[in-house]
Chains A and B, each alone.
Chain A
Amino acid sequence: MSTKKTKTLDINASANEEAVIENPWQTLNAFTDARVGLGRSGVSVPTKHLLAFQLAHAQAIDAVHTQLDTHQLAKALTEQDWAPDCAPLILHSRATDRATYLQRPDYGRRLDDESGRILDKHTAENPHLAQYDLAIAVVDGLSSLAIEQNTVPFLAALSTYLNPNNTTSKHAQEHWNIAPICIVQQGRVAIGDDICQRLNAKCVLVLIGERPGLSSPDSLGLYLTWEGKVGLTDASRNCISNVRPAGLVYQEAARKAFYLLNEARTLKLSGVNLKDRSDNDLILNEEVESRNFLTN
């Protein structure tokens, strides 16, 4: 029985080799993440690449639907030497579950009643503190994976810019008085406005899990809003996208975020009137590697 089975499998294996036509241009995948040169079985995608795609899609789906472990994240944040003195606050939007979240973006933009009370209580109990310069909201968004993997290393990189050597700067203007970090479940970008307003902070930086791409289930987005308050639109924000080890690396993301934070503080605004010129020196170099080999 077992001999016969092995023989059948061998026949299948050899038939399979002839069935798949490889593409001579598959080496082009060294120059792009696009799925070029997959080859074909007849005119269809070969099994190997079909299943690779299915795996990537499964990971993206899981990134959307896996709940953020807020306590684990809060613990990790508390252990950092750059962490603000006050422990992170754990908040929730008005979207009660993921299905509601996905269909009602309006619920995801507002804190639920209990979360509102937590923030109001914090502000009421700490009147002696000077106004916060910056609120940081860590929001699950569409990828809890992005938050779990990127939050701590990104904030570590940012902290070296915000408060160098972890000491209070002599110049009040350069010092950033940071509110307790807010961790939010089932939140959208605009929930940062609600948080900024309740904490009476000058601006808010939202770290949010971006809509996962097939090859980027872990992409973190950063949104800066000056004087965030409920009702603002995206025109009031500046965005830094695709923060992850295989995308915009932490150090670069932190450099850009710090540039925008300083500009916002100087100009007292954010959004369309705050231009990101942090890369002005870099753009010219991009042409070097870019080449249309189809014609020259």
Chain B
Amino acid sequence: MSNPHSSFQFHHTVGERTFGFVDLADLMAKATPARSGDRLAGVAAESAEERVIAQMTLADLPLTIFLEQLLIPYEDDEITRLIIDDHDKQAFAPISHLTVGGFRDWLLSDLATPEVLTRIRQGITPEMAAAVSKIMRNQDLILVAKKCHVKTAFRNTIGLPGHLSTRLQPNHPTDDLTGIAASMLDGLLYANGDAVIGINPATDNVQQASRLIKMMDEVIQHYEIPTQSCVLTHVTNTIECIDQGAPVDLVFQSIGGTQATNDSFGFNLANLAEAQDAALSLNRGTVGNNVMYFETGQGSSLSANAHHGLDQQTCETRAYAVARKFNPLLVNTVVGFIGPEYLYDGKEITRAGLEDHFCGKLLGLPMGCDVCYTNHAEADQNDMDNLLTLLGVAGCTFIMGIPGSDDIMLNYQTTSFHDALYARRALGLKPAPEFDAWLAKMEIFKNNEQFTLNNQLPDAFQQSLNRMIGGRS
């Protein structure tokens, strides 16, 4: 008890001053680049200096500490149990001697090739990924993520290097089929929708989900589109849809990084396993069998008062352990949707998007990003252009595509169909190969190499349009 710093597990002295950190969770939180959610939770560093001191202290810790000091107790949390029980010691062996700071150097080095990164990914825990990301600059997050190749498949192949996919998001405030079909047509003719055609239903129940699933299945079959559909309803609703015979391609669920967060979302790991089995039993994939679609976002645990005193980025990364367990086709961090009390402005949203993409990819997830903002955040289209470009460079798996960036159901702005084409042209990123071939066959693209669209309406769609316009006028 003679030690004046006995209440601190970690300390670091600079000149005359000694900084103390209560425990590993405190150190992780204070090492996190500044954001409003951590200030709201009262876990953020109190000064710019304290933040960097925390980063220095964190950099000196061995990666093995995250296997010994669990941020949420094993007994209390099924995600902690998942992380520890599924940890692959053999895969971890090549990096087990490293500190957090050494891990950053190693990841950036030429030792960490795409093949090596694939081999070790099951040895990396979410907390290790979160820790190293906290001491990485944006360009580090981009460069390493670009080396992490994650390939998944259902009716097409997602995640090949040099490719970028898009979720066509034809949401409508009353789930009106004409309105949804109009947005779908617009998206397909702008070459969007290879990741998934995914609807957030306005009315969230089993009957409505089934109706929308059937509608999308009809469109996919009619035009023989090599893509998959999903209604973003609760996992238990989708299980019921499958039981009732609905043609379900992908099972959706919003997930968080603590058991208490997922309790507040009304599901547990057993529900996800049941849903995955049910979707696999339908055997609807033609190229592969990744049947899950997860969404995440920093701040969800704090919002549910289920963060256990952890910073929001660490909670977020723990959610990737949940995703990884179920071999998803797609994981989407909805980075700017939650609002300015968690990510205040364009700078914080950009940083969080790059962190989430990096951590997800490092852990082996097909990580996409809803590059988005709400009207009460200090952000605008230029911030989204920047993040989209950065993520395109980083090898992001997929982004959203919506008419004119305006989601008229969820009342937020995300990337448009046009934005995706911008990213393709600026960075040379192609859609999934099967979908790319379909775009050529349907004469949507006039030139697939230069991403040039047809100036004329392709014949197959002319008939559909006549049905609508002709029938109405």
With a cutoff of 8 Å between Cβ atoms, the chain B residues found around residue A295 in the complex are 218-219, 222, 464
Contact of B411 among A21, A28, A211 (CB under 8 A): A211
With a cutoff of 8 Å between Cβ atoms, the chain B residues found around residue A43 in the complex are 418, 421-422, 424-425, 451, 453
Are B468's CB and A31's CB within 8 A?
A: yes
With a cutoff of 8 Å between Cβ atoms, the chain A residues found around residue B418 in the complex are 38, 40, 43-45
Contact of B185 among A25, A45, A57, A142 (CB under 8 A): A25
Are B182's CB and A31's CB within 8 A?
A: yes
**Does A105 interact with chain B (Cβ within 8 Å)?**
yes
Contact of B178 among A32, A54, A64 (CB under 8 A): A32
Are B375's CB and A213's CB within 8 A?
A: yes
Q: Determine which residue in A63, A102, A106, A294 has the highest number of CB atoms from chain B within 10 A of its CB, and name it.
A: A294
Take A292-B218, A294-B184 as given contacts and tell me if A21 and B455 are in contact as well, using a CB distance cutoff of 8 Å: yes
Contact with B along A1-36 (1 / 0, CB 8 A): 000000000000000000001011101111111111
A sample of 10 inter-chain contacts (CB < 8 A) reads A23-B186, A28-B469, A31-B179, A35-B403, A45-B404, A57-B381, A103-B40, A103-B340, A211-B411, A294-B218
**Does A290 interact with chain B (Cβ within 8 Å)?**
yes
Are A33's CB and B408's CB within 8 A?
A: yes
Are A286's CB and B182's CB within 8 A?
A: no
Shortest A62–chain B CB gap in Å is: 10
With a cutoff of 8 Å between Cβ atoms, the chain A residues found around residue B215 in the complex are 292
With a cutoff of 8 Å between Cβ atoms, the chain A residues found around residue B375 in the complex are 57, 60-61, 63-64, 142, 211-214, 217
**Does B341 interact with chain A (Cβ within 8 Å)?**
yes
**Does A71 interact with chain B (Cβ within 8 Å)?**
no
Are B374's CB and A44's CB within 8 A?
A: no
Give chain B's interface residues, CB within 8 Å of chain A.
36, 39-40, 170, 172-186, 189, 215, 218-219, 222-223, 339-341, 344, 374-376, 380-381, 402-406, 408, 411-413, 416, 418, 421-422, 424-425, 451, 453, 455, 457, 461-462, 464-465, 467-469, 471-472
Are A294's CB and B406's CB within 8 A?
A: no
Q: A34-B186, A211-B375 are in contact. List 11 more A-B contacts (CB 8 A).
A: A25-B182, A25-B186, A25-B465, A34-B403, A36-B186, A102-B340, A106-B40, A211-B411, A242-B173, A293-B471, A294-B464
Question: How far is it, in angstroms, between the C-alpha of A142 and the C-alpha of B411 when the chains are bound?
Answer: 13
Complex: chain B residue closest to A233, CB-CB: B305
With a cutoff of 8 Å between Cβ atoms, the chain B residues found around residue A242 in the complex are 173
**Does A49 interact with chain B (Cβ within 8 Å)?**
yes
Take A35-B403, A103-B340 as given contacts and tell me if A292 and B178 are in contact as well, using a CB distance cutoff of 8 Å: yes
Shortest A236–chain B CB gap in Å is: 15
**Does A277 interact with chain B (Cβ within 8 Å)?**
no
How many residues of chain A get a CB closer than 8 Å to chain B's CBs? 53
**Does A153 interact with chain B (Cβ within 8 Å)?**
no
**Does A281 interact with chain B (Cβ within 8 Å)?**
no
Take A102-B340, A103-B340, A213-B411 as given contacts and tell me if A36 and B219 are in contact as well, using a CB distance cutoff of 8 Å: no
**Does A53 interact with chain B (Cβ within 8 Å)?**
yes
Are A293's CB and B183's CB within 8 A?
A: no
Are B408's CB and A213's CB within 8 A?
A: yes
What secondary structure prevails in chain B residues at the interface with A? helix
Give chain A's interface residues, CB within 8 Å of chain B.
21, 23-25, 27-38, 40, 42-45, 49, 53-54, 56-57, 60-61, 63-64, 102-106, 142, 211-217, 242, 286, 289-296
Are A34's CB and B340's CB within 8 A?
A: no
With a cutoff of 8 Å between Cβ atoms, the chain A residues found around residue B184 in the complex are 294
Question: How far is it, in angstroms, between the C-alpha of A103 and the C-alpha of B465 when the chains are bound?
Answer: 46
Are A40's CB and B453's CB within 8 A?
A: yes
Are A294's CB and B185's CB within 8 A?
A: yes
Contact of A53 among B340, B374, B404 (CB under 8 A): B404
Take A36-B183, A43-B453 as given contacts and tell me if A105 and B341 are in contact as well, using a CB distance cutoff of 8 Å: yes
Are B468's CB and A28's CB within 8 A?
A: yes
With a cutoff of 8 Å between Cβ atoms, the chain A residues found around residue B404 in the complex are 34-36, 38, 45, 49, 53
With a cutoff of 8 Å between Cβ atoms, the chain B residues found around residue A30 in the complex are 472
Complex: chain A residue closest to B183, CB-CB: A34
Shortest B172–chain A CB gap in Å is: 7
Are A44's CB and B422's CB within 8 A?
A: yes
With a cutoff of 8 Å between Cβ atoms, the chain B residues found around residue A212 in the complex are 375-376, 411
Shortest A38–chain B CB gap in Å is: 6
Complex: chain A residue closest to B344, CB-CB: A103
Shortest A225–chain B CB gap in Å is: 19
Shortest B37–chain A CB gap in Å is: 9
Question: How far is it, in angstroms, between the C-alpha of A53 and the C-alpha of B414 when the chains are bound?
Answer: 13
Shortest A145–chain B CB gap in Å is: 12
Shortest B170–chain A CB gap in Å is: 8
Shortest A249–chain B CB gap in Å is: 15
Question: How far is it, in angstroms, between the C-alpha of A142 and the C-alpha of B339 when the chains are bound?
Answer: 12
Complex: chain A residue closest to B405, CB-CB: A53
Contact of B376 among A25, A35, A142 (CB under 8 A): A142
With a cutoff of 8 Å between Cβ atoms, the chain A residues found around residue B471 in the complex are 293
Shortest A144–chain B CB gap in Å is: 12
With a cutoff of 8 Å between Cβ atoms, the chain A residues found around residue B411 in the complex are 211-214, 216
Would you list the 8 A-B pairs with minimal beta carbon distance, nearest first?
A35-B404, A213-B411, A43-B421, A32-B179, A293-B468, A60-B375, A36-B186, A28-B182
Question: How far is it, in angstroms, between the C-alpha of A280 and the C-alpha of B469 when the chains are bound?
Answer: 32
With a cutoff of 8 Å between Cβ atoms, the chain B residues found around residue A294 in the complex are 181, 184-185, 218-219, 222-223, 464
Shortest B25–chain A CB gap in Å is: 21
Question: How far is it, in angstroms, between the C-alpha of A64 and the C-alpha of B376 when the chains are bound?
Answer: 6
Shortest A243–chain B CB gap in Å is: 14
Are B219's CB and A292's CB within 8 A?
A: yes
Shortest A106–chain B CB gap in Å is: 8
Question: How far is it, in angstroms, between the C-alpha of A295 and the C-alpha of B416 when the chains are bound?
Answer: 24
Are A102's CB and B176's CB within 8 A?
A: no
With a cutoff of 8 Å between Cβ atoms, the chain B residues found around residue A44 in the complex are 418, 421-422
Shortest A261–chain B CB gap in Å is: 24
Are A291's CB and B405's CB within 8 A?
A: no
With a cutoff of 8 Å between Cβ atoms, the chain B residues found around residue A292 in the complex are 177-178, 180-181, 215, 218-219
